[in-house]
Amino acid sequence: MKLKALFASACLMVVGASAQAAEVELTLSHWVPATHMLQAGGMEPWAKSINEASGGRINITIYPASQLGAAPDHYDMARDGIVDIGFINPGYQPGRFPILAAGEIPFLISDAKSGSRALDEWYRQYSAKEMSDVYVCMVHVHDPGTLHGTKGPIQVPADLKGKNIRPAHATMARLVSSLGAASVQVPAGEMRELISKGAADMTASPWNSIYTFGLQDVTKHHLDMPFYVTTFAFVMNKAKIDGLEPQDRKVIDDHCTSEWAEKMASKWADAEAAGRQKMIDAGGHTFYKPTPDEVNLWKQATASLEGEWAAAATKAGIDAKSAWASLAETLKKYDANVK
């Protein structure tokens, strides 16, 4: 009987060991500084929550500041398994992700927190269509940004004519070109060098990123108006995620939600919004606040972008009219639409 008990105990130990998932090490690569609030206030709490929810089985190591590759390459890096998780700005690859580009259209999303939740919820209908070769964990946006320049005025669309402008993404690149400006597109981390060398007169950016990327002493003129947002996504290597043990896959799925998209954006949004007051307090900056009529000039200047998006989205194989209506409805549901 004693021998049988020992044998039974040994069998239970083997079953228990086989049922327990192996430790999982994941790499998360991004291209903003390690000090950026997106890492401290978003990525790190997210990675910690995943580690805790998995009982310590899943560990995520974060590689900031383009250590593993250039900003525009992060989608392909995740797709090809160079990294397990890539943080991407889809607008850095013009025309590649035309459906998600809806979120780039100015005067559409009013708030980064609820707007991220809404955009993520909406995009889940379409992500498998244009990002089928990765696992799309979540999408989100930054706090509404605007234009910042080395000289003014920046008050109405006509003030952009003849300028060299660094746009935030492909949609804004088309906009500035339509207004008679030249688009000089580089990732956010290269803004400082671009402008300090005189290769660009203006850049599109949320407020505090001017400080994050060191432009506060070269961009002293600001369009004082919530203008646009930029879409972002966390995408994962499909084979890596599909190969997880069921309990670990559930942990990942539970952290790839619209609720987490809002959490990821929230502290960053607060930090960006605070940048405007920081500039006011610092002094030496000129803020150009458009009148209601001048705001309408900006809205008229951007009016064609919805039609351009619809044409590209239709070409991508979706019902653009239905998709746009769905996006508008979802933004309204979360009170994230521009009134």
The CATH number linked to 250 is 3.40.190.170
- Please check whether residues 177 and 297 belong to one and the same domain: yes
189 lies in some domain = yes
326 lies in some domain = no
Model pLDDT for residues 112-148, shown as the tens digit of each residue: 999 999 999 999 999 999 999 999 999 999 999 999 9
Model pLDDT for residues 236-260, shown as the tens digit of each residue: 999 999 999 999 999 999 999 999 9
- Please check whether residues 193 and 151 belong to one and the same domain: yes
Please give the share of the chain, as a percent, with pLDDT higher than 70.
94
- Please check whether residues 34 and 108 belong to one and the same domain: yes
Q: In angstroms, rounded to a whole number, what is the distance separating the alpha carbons of residues 279 and 210? A: 10
190 lies in some domain = yes
Q: In angstroms, rounded to a whole number, what is the distance separating the alpha carbons of residues 205 and 83? A: 27
- The strand order across the sheet containing 182-183 reads 182-183, 164-166, 202-205, 146-149, 221-223, 286-288
- Please check whether residues 222 and 235 belong to one and the same domain: no
Write down the pLDDT at residue 145.
Answer: 98
Handedness of CA 102, 274, 210, 65 (dihedral sign): negative
Under the banding of pLDDT at 50, 70 and 90, the label for residue 11 is very low
- Please check whether residues 131 and 93 belong to one and the same domain: yes
Final residue of a structural domain among 271, 293, 323:
271
CA angle at 126 for the pair 140 and 132, rounded to the nearest 5°: 95
Under the banding of pLDDT at 50, 70 and 90, the label for residue 22 is very low
Tally the domains of the chain: 2
Two tokens, residue 202: 């203006």
CB 89 within 8 A of CB 318: no
Phi and psi, residue 94, nearest 5°: -50, 130
- Please check whether residues 263 and 217 belong to one and the same domain: no
Model pLDDT for residues 278-331, shown as the tens digit of each residue: 999 999 999 999 999 999 999 999 999 999 999 999 999 999 999 999 999 999
314 lies in some domain = no
Mean pLDDT of 33-59: 97
Q: Is the pLDDT of residue 14 over 90?
A: no
Mean pLDDT of 44-52: 98
Peptide bond into 144 cis (omega under 30): no
- Identify the weakest region by mean pLDDT among 20-24, 50-54, 293-297: 20-24
CA angle at 145 for the pair 144 and 146, rounded to the nearest 5°: 135
- Please check whether residues 162 and 101 belong to one and the same domain: no
Q: In which domain, by residue range, is 33 found? A: 23-141+229-271
Model pLDDT for residues 197-235, shown as the tens digit of each residue: 999 999 999 999 999 999 999 999 999 999 999 999 999
Write down the pLDDT at residue 296.
Answer: 98
CB 116 within 8 A of CB 262: yes
- Please check whether residues 58 and 205 belong to one and the same domain: no
328 lies in some domain = no
Q: In angstroms, rounded to a whole number, what is the distance separating the alpha carbons of residues 227 and 106? A: 6
Terminal Cα-to-Cα distance of the chain (whole angstroms) = 78
Phi and psi, residue 183, nearest 5°: -90, 130
- Please check whether residues 102 and 238 belong to one and the same domain: yes
Would you tell me how many other CB atoms lie within 10 Å of the CB of residue 290?
18
Mean pLDDT of 46-50: 98
With tokens 């920046």, the residue in question is: 154
Closest residue by Cα to residue 147 from 104, 205, 214? 205
- Please check whether residues 127 and 233 belong to one and the same domain: yes
Would you say the pTM of this structure is higher than 0.95?
no
Write down the pLDDT at residue 298.
Answer: 98
- Please check whether residues 58 and 204 belong to one and the same domain: no
- Please check whether residues 266 and 195 belong to one and the same domain: no
The strand pairing partners of 228, in sequence order, are 145
1 lies in some domain = no
136 lies in some domain = yes
Handedness of CA 101, 104, 105, 108 (dihedral sign): positive
88 lies in some domain = yes
- The strand order across the sheet containing 85-88 reads 58-63, 24-29, 85-88, 231-236, 135-141
3-state secondary structure 216-233: CCCCCEEECCCCECCEEE
Q: In angstroms, rounded to a whole number, what is the distance separating the alpha carbons of residues 311 and 295? A: 26
